[in-house]
Every structure is written in C-alpha cells, then in structure tokens.
C-alpha cells in the first residue's frame, strides 16, 4: 500500500509545477501585451524633440527680450553707490572702578569712569591693561591739573579727554615704544 500513495503524490506535484509555469508564462505575456499597448504606439522621433526644444528656447528668449524692453521703458531708479572706505575694527577697554581726585584750586572733586579705544590691534589694549597702575597714576595727575571751570561744559570735557589721551599715549610710548590709544571716553562724570 505504501507504493500506491506515492504515485498520486507525484502526479499532484507535477500538476502543481505545470500550473505554476503556465500561470507565470501567462503573466509575462499579459505584461508584455499591456506594455506594447501603452508604449508601443508612441514612436520617439529625435528630430521632433529637438524642434520642440528649439521652439521653447525661442519663446523664452522672446519673453526675456519683452521683459527687458518693458523694464527699459520704466523710469529707472537712481542708485547711489556707497563709498567703499576701508573700515577697521575698533577695540575698547574700560578701566575698572572710577577715578576720584580734587580739582585744582577748588574744594570740589571730580569722579570719572574712563574707557579708551583703538583701531590698531589688541596689543594696544593688552599694553593698557598690563600698565594700568602707571596709567591710573598719570590719569589722576592730569585730572587734578584741571580746575572746576576747566571741566565745565562739553568743551571742558573734550579738553580733559584730549589731555588724558595725550598722557596715556605718552606713558605707553615710554613703556612700550608705542601709544596707540585713539580716543578717551567718560563712562561716568560726577562733579561734587
């Protein structure tokens, strides 16, 4: 009996394989037929494509020429060019704390906060920081040479700032060979 069971299994296995092969061939045939129907009739003519590209380019050029003509017909805005002057980075340094000293010939005293700037390089500010003790002494001496009338008003403050700049640059020139401080600023200015 075991021999009889093997024979139907072989036939059933062979039928299945044939069925799968036939279905596979049928699917490939259907795919090819659909592909031919969809794409078989569309014949690609390179000369027609080149002609279409040339026509499209000609239309784009005509549109660009029309836009340029319309732009030329409009009144032009006058654009003024900005001068291209070379700009340098300004570096600032603020002395810590304030400077307080009596004014010349007066019982009043002046308390100021100071800052300096340069456009040379960071070395100038490093020199200011490293020689801060000597510069503080010079600054106090310069301020004490001014009287109450000398520091009154904007012109008096500008004169004091100019004297401080000269004094700071003189001390830095003596200590480092180069001053480099270009401006002196008052961060606070109190006359009491």
Q: Is residue 129 part of a domain?
A: yes
Alpha carbon distance 183, 175 (integer Å): 19
Residues 12-24: tens digit of each pLDDT: 778 888 888 999 9
Question: Looking at 20, 44, 73, which one is the last position of a domain?
Answer: 73
Q: How many structural domains comprise the chain?
A: 2
Q: Is residue 86 part of a domain?
A: no
The CATH number for 181's domain is 3.30.479.30
Pair (127, 55) in one structural domain? no
Alpha carbon distance 105, 49 (integer Å): 99
The pTM for the full model equals 0.55
Residue-range definition of the domain harbouring residue 21: 2-73
Pair (69, 148) in one structural domain? no
Average pLDDT along the chain: 84
> What values do phi and psi take at 149, rounded to 5?
-70, -30
């Amino acid at each position: 009996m075991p021999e009889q069971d093997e024979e139907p299994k072989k036939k059933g296995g062979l039928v299945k394989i044939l069925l799968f092969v036939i279905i596979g061939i049928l699917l490939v045939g259907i795919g090819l037929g659909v592909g031919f129907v969809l794409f078989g009739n569309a014949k690609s003519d390179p000369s027609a494509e080149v002609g279409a590209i040339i026509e499209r380019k000609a239309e784009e050029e005509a549109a660009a020429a029309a836009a340029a003509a319309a732009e030329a017909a409009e009144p032009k805005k006058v654009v003024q060019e900005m001068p291209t002057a070379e700009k340098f980075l300004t570096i600032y340094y603020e002395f810590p704390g304030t400077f307080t000293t009596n004014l010349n010939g007066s019982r009043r005293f002046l308390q100021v906060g100071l800052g300096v700037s340069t456009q040379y390089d960071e070395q100038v500010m490093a020199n200011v920081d490293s020689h801060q003790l000597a510069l503080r002494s010079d600054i106090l001496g310069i301020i004490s040479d001014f009287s109450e009338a000398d520091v009154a008003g904007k012109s008096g403050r500008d004169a004091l700032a100019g004297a401080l700049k000269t004094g700071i640059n003189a001390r830095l020139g003596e200590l480092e060979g180069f001053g480099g401080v270009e401006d002196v600023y008052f961060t606070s200015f109190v006359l009491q």
